[in-house]
Amino acid sequence: MTDDHLLEVKNVHAGYIKDVDILQGVNFWVDQGELVTVIGPNGAGKSTLVKTIFGLLTPHTGSITFKGENIVGLKSNQIVQKGMCYTPQISNVFPSLSIEENLEMGAFVRNIALKPLKDKIFTMFPRLADRRHQRAGTLSGGERQMLAMGKALMLEPDLLLLDEPSAALSPILVTQVFEQIKQINQEGTAIVLVEQNARKALEMAHRGYVLESGRDAISGPGLELLNDPKVGELYLGVSRGH
């Protein structure tokens, strides 16, 4: 039944131009509190999938339900109010505002006291707490990613969509950002993680999906996909050693 899942995507076709579908019948679901990773080659439709879920693209066919309710046709701000947030890969903070102001902007739709929420985010991301009055535009790539996630968490979403959070980060920062993602998930937020860093993402995922040419080609528990020879050869750079 549809409302068993927090999010369910059924047979979705979507793209940026009429009659040209990047997603070609994707089926995908996320349960409450799950961390689900989406991997696949460039152009497979990973970012298109999260943009479609978040209402930035409208599917040509298919259904998307969130908490048992059809959200196709809703605008992103309406989807946010239902408890879903999206952190894009780029342009995900306000560079001219301070870290603290960015967090406050993240909660603009909420009519509640923000200090307890900000304190919670600063506890989770100590690097941001130390620089709370610094302009976001002066932050490193890793700090900016942490701020983008913190900004989304100000809404206390049930589901957080993360698009390539480790892109262009140094290995040490990748590790830190992934640790934060794991912590966010352990505190109860379900996460859809779109990642090029397939190995690291699958290691910590409850389940994973491999997208190929706009379809969900392979899916299963994260560690199972990590050890699948086909996935290894195609996406993890593992040779079968002929």
**Do the strands 84-87 and 159-163 form a parallel or antiparallel pair, or are they unpaired?**
parallel
Residue 2: which of 64, 54, 55 has the closest Cα? Answer: 64
If pLDDT is split at 50, 70 and 90, which confidence band does 207 have? very high
Phi, psi of 143 (to 5 degrees): -65, -40
pLDDT at 238 over 80: no
Confidence of residue 196 (pLDDT cuts 50, 70, 90): confident
- Assigned CATH for 34-44+75-235: 3.40.50.300
Identify the CA nearest to 139 among candidates 105, 169, 111. 169
pLDDT over 70, % of the chain: 95
Query: Residue 242 has what pLDDT?
Result: 38
The rounded distance, in Å, linking the Cα atoms of 192 and 106 is 19
How far is Cα of residue 210 from the mean position of the Cα atoms in its chain? 15
| CA 83 – CA 129 distance, rounded (Å) | 25
**Residues above pLDDT 90, as percent of the chain:** 63
* 132-156 pLDDT per residue, tens: 999 999 998 888 999 999 999 998 9
CA distances in angstroms from 135 to 96, 98, 131, listed in the order given? 6, 4, 9
Low-confidence winner among 77-91, 159-173, 222-236 (lowest mean pLDDT): 222-236
